[in-house]
Amino acid sequence: MKKGLYPGSFDPLTLGHLDVITRASELVDELHVVVADNPAKKFSFTVNERMQMIEKSVKHLPNIKISYTSDLVVRYAQDNGIKILFRGLRNIADYEMEYMLYQFNRNLNPDVETVVLFPSSRNHFVSSSSIKELVFHHADISLYIPEEIIDEVKLRLPKK
């Protein structure tokens, strides 16, 4: 069985994330979508809330396993027999960060291969932080967030 891993903070999940999840799920038998700790970020949603939002949004994809790790993503991959790590890449700033992470991951476990997927042109600029700003200013987020979680996101995020 070919297993892949798509990690992120998903705070909140966007259509850009869902685009990458959907396409990655077509390349493997089982895709682990992993909510990962990031000590550099302040989260708006709890781990359980983020996992539930992902679950609601991927019901149509039969080969998704949703989980959480507070460890390094590459260790999660190793512990779960995963050889493919999927990453989304939107822009040059993402490239620099992803390239650095790739080097660290490769040094920690050369058996895990990183595969970069670019979001569709419709989603290449969407980020969780931009969603938070749109909600803050009472703007429509329906073009950027899975329909199943729009109300939840709007209710939980602070507004002006």
Q: Per-residue pLDDT tens for 44-95?
A: 999 999 999 999 999 999 999 999 999 999 999 999 999 999 999 987 888 8
Amino acid (1-letter code) at residue 119: P
pTM of the predicted model over 0.85 = yes
Strand partners, 113: 84
Distance CA 65, CA 82 (A): 12
What percentage of the chain reaches a pLDDT higher than 90? 82
CATH number of the domain bearing residue 62 = 3.40.50.620
Distance CA 69, CA 129 (A): 21
Q: Give the torsion sign (CA, 116, 112, 29, 48).
A: negative
Domain enclosing residue 126, as ranges: 3-156
Report the candidate in 57, 64, 120 with the shortest Cα–Cα distance to residue 90: 120
Q: Which residues are catalytic?
A: 17, 41, 90, 128
Kind of pairing between the strands at 84-88 and 3-8: parallel
Distance CA 30, CA 39 (A): 28
Per-residue pLDDT at 91? 79
The answer to whether 150 and 142 have CB atoms below 8 angstroms apart is yes
In 65-124, alpha helices (H): 73-79, 92-108
Whether pLDDT at 138 is above 80: yes
The answer to whether 87 and 5 have CB atoms below 8 angstroms apart is no
Per-residue pLDDT at 56? 97
Domain count, the chain: 1
The answer to whether 34 and 5 have CB atoms below 8 angstroms apart is yes
Per-residue pLDDT at 52? 97
Amino acid (1-letter code) at residue 54: I
The answer to whether 156 and 44 have CB atoms below 8 angstroms apart is yes
